[in-house]
Each structure stands twice: as C-alpha cells, then as structure tokens.
C-alpha cells in the first residue's frame, strides 16, 4: 500500500513524463506542418497557374490572406527554406502522416508528380546530402530536434557541417540556445583543425549547459601552434596582435600604451585588452575584444573601464576617454563606440574624423575570420 509521499511522487512523475511526451509530439507536428507548408509554397512558385500574378509579393499576400498566428511572411519564407534545406525528410513526413492517420490528398497528389518535377534546388540539396560523410537518419531529425533547432541550422549551406551540428545536438541533448552558442563558437571548425577533436567534444559533455563555459579555439590562419585545445586567451592574443598592427598602420595618432592593462576596481582586477593614447584627440582609447555575440554586459563592462579612466587616469588637460567594443561571431562583426560623458559636441565630431570608421573596423574583423 502506497503512502502519501509516494502518491505525490507518482502524480508528479506521471505529469512530467506525459507533459514531456506532449511537448515532443507538438514539436514533431510543428516540424511536419512547416515542412509541408514550405513544400506547398515551393510547388506553387514552380508550377502554380497564376504564380506570375503574385511574384515577389506572394509571401506577403499569403500571410495577409491566411491570417493565422505564426504564419507571417518571414516565417513562410523560413518554411520554404526549410523544405529546400531538408528534402531528405520527405519519406519521414509521409510516414508520420500515415501514423497519425491524417491525409492531405493534394499533398499526396503533388508528391506523386515529384520524380519528374523536382526542382533543381531540391535535386542539388538531395545530391549534396547523399554525398555527406555524416548522414543523420531523417526520422532521428524529426524525433529529436525541434523546428526551432532546425531554424538555427538553415543558414548553414554545407551539408556535412549541418549534419555535424544535428548529430551533436541529438547526442548532447542540446537546448536551442546551446546549439546557437556552439555554432557561434565555431565548434565545427575547431574540431576540424584540432589535434584531438574527440577530447574537445567530450569536454562539452562534462560542462553543465547552464553554466559559463570556457570556449576553446584554434585558428590556423593566425599561425597558432597546433594544440589539442587552444584556449580563448591564445585566440584573443593573436587577434589583438593583428588589431594592434592595423591601428598603428592607420597613422591617425594612435600611441600604444598597454596590452591587457590591469586595473583594480573595488576588490576585483579587470583587464583592458588594448589601451592607446591618441595624441591628436588627447585622450585614451580603450579597446575591448569579445569573441562572441554582443551582449549588454559587454557594453556595460567597457563603460565601467571608461569611467575608471575618467576618475583615476585622465589628466586635467586630457579629454574624456573613448571606448571601442569589438564583438565577433562567424559571419558578422559589431563595432560599438562608447562616448559616455562627452559633453563637447565639437570634440565628438573631431573624434569621428580621427578614429577608424565603424565599417572599416567591421571589415577588418570579418576579413580575419574569413581566413579560417
């Protein structure tokens, strides 16, 4: 006979298990729905009898006429991209519909015509996926990855790279945020040029997903020695070496004052990546590099450094310090200039003339990352 605590445990366990099963079923159904919608859109664009009438306005027209929450023009575009990126799950979609005893006559009719009407884009995608050394069974993708996971993978054009992240997401039971973080941390590229990629992957498994994870990098293009795992500081040092040379070559008055400048704020030490004194602007220029996507914490930290320099380092005849935040990920760079406390508009206009243009710095970062 069960006691009261056992009763509570049984009810909670039943709820949690069936709730998880319901969420998984909903995710699977959502994935199937979105793929089929993408299929319909692609088929209409290729063979619709009045497709020319809508042209580029098709998705906007669809979104306005359907008027279903979640089916915005942007999402419809993603559904179409999902269909083109994952043609290999077609049979799994059909099998899932059959299991649900759910029929879509028009869908099945179009599928019967597919062999002779398959678009060149889909044919190319199928061929690429078949040539991939890592091929994840389609049913595993549908069963284990939510549509939101798959959206993170859509921008990846290389089928092998995409399969790598599919596999690791399934093996590691990654959340969407963890998958996004690993893509932005260049896990695939790091595995490709690491001496021991297995040790890199095993380290991920040992690290709690919700904690702060110390990223490991290795960038061959920077001439770093081949190591089992290259620490983040190694990467930052190499990038800062290039950045330091880049700024000094501009010849706009940059005078290098310090690298990894240690400052004490309260009881904690902080390090400013690069500190220049600008002889024309007569102020310090603090540069902070983050090998990650932009967060408000990044900007807040740089602003803290600026305030420290204003109070403790700036001389009476100096202008207020300027901060430049460089944030990187695989495909883009963000450059943020911090001008907190600058009351002199004439000085602000002058610094805009003397400091590198934001686009110039973005181009520098992007160019360095492309050398991977």
* Rounded (10°) CA dihedral 163, 167, 169, 170: 140
Contacts of 345 (CB under 8 A, 6+ apart): none
Domain assignment present for residue 356? The answer is yes
Q: Could you report the per-residue pLDDT of 218-229, keeping only the tens digit for each?
A: 223 234 444 444
Task: Please report whether residue 156 resides in a domain.
Answer: no
Domain range holding 256? 234-370
Q: What is the pTM of this model?
A: 0.54
Residues 45/49/50/54 CA torsion (nearest 10 deg): 0
In a domain, 140, yes or no: no
CB 293 within 8 A of CB 327: yes
CATH number at residue 361: 3.40.1350
Q: Is residue 255, in this structure, part of any structural domain at all?
A: yes
Query: Mind listing the pLDDT tens digit for each residue in 288-316?
Result: 877 666 777 778 888 899 899 999 999 99
State residue 309's pLDDT score.
92
Residue with tokens 């498994």: 205
For 87-96, 98-107, 139-148, 334-343, which range has the lowest pLDDT when averaged over its residues? 334-343
- φ, ψ for residue 231, nearest 5 deg: -75, 160
Q: What Rg do the C-alpha atoms of the chain give, in angstroms?
A: 27
- What does DSSP say about strands 283-290 and 322-328: parallel, antiparallel, or unpaired? parallel
In a domain, 343, yes or no: yes
Would you say residue 70 has pLDDT above 60?
A: yes
Read off the pLDDT of residues 233-247 as tens digits, 9 standing for 90 and up: 555 566 667 777 766
Q: Is the pLDDT of residue 153 over 90?
A: yes
Which residue stretches of the chain are H helix? 4-47, 51-54, 58-66, 73-85, 90-99, 105-117, 120-131, 138-144, 147-153, 159-172, 176-184, 187-193, 197-206, 232-250, 296-312, 345-354, 358-370
Q: Which of 132, 165, 191 is the last residue of a domain?
A: 132
Q: Is the pLDDT of residue 143 over 80?
A: yes
Number of domains in the chain: 2
Residue 360 lies in a domain: yes
List the structure tokens of 266. 């309260």
């Amino acid at each position: 006979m069960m006691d009261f605590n056992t009763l509570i445990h049984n009810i909670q366990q039943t709820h949690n298990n069936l709730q998880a099963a319901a969420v998984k079923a909903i995710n699977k159904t959502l994935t199937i729905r979105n793929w089929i919608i993408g299929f319909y859109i692609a088929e209409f664009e290729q063979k619709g009898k009045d497709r020319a009438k809508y042209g580029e306005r098709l998705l906007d027209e669809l979104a306005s006429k359907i008027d279903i929450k979640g089916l915005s023009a942007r999402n419809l575009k993603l559904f179409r991209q999902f269909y083109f990126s994952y043609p290999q799950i077609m049979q799994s979609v059909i099998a899932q519909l059959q299991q649900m005893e759910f029929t879509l006559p028009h869908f099945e009719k179009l599928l019967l015509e597919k062999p002779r009407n398959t678009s060149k884009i889909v044919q190319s995608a199928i061929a690429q996926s078949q040539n991939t050394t890592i091929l994840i069974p389609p049913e595993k993708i549908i069963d284990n990855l939510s549509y939101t996971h798959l959206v993170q993978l859509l921008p990846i054009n290389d089928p092998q790279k995409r399969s790598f992240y599919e596999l690791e997401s399934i093996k590691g039971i990654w959340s969407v945020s963890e998958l996004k973080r690993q893509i932005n941390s260049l896990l695939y590229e790091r595995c490709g040029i690491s001496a021991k990629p297995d040790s890199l992957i095993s380290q991920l498994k040992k690290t709690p997903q919700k904690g702060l994870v110390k990223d490991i990098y290795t960038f061959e293009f920077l001439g770093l020695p081949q190591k089992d795992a290259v620490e983040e500081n190694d990467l930052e040092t190499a990038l800062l070496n290039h950045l330091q040379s880049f700024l000094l070559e501009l010849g706009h008055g940059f005078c290098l004052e310090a690298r990894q400048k240690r400052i004490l704020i309260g009881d904690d030490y902080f390090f400013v990546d690069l500190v220049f004194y600008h002889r024309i602007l007569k102020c310090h220029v603090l540069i902070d590099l983050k090998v990650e996507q932009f967060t408000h914490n990044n900007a807040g930290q740089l602003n803290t450094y600026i305030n420290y320099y204003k109070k403790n380092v700036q001389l009476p005849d100096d202008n207020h310090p300027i901060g430049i935040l460089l944030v990187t990920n695989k495909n883009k760079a963000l450059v943020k200039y911090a001008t907190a406390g600058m009351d002199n508009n004439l000085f602000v206009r002058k610094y805009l003339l003397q400091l590198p243009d934001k686009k110039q710095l973005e181009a520098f970062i992007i160019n360095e990352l492309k050398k991977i």
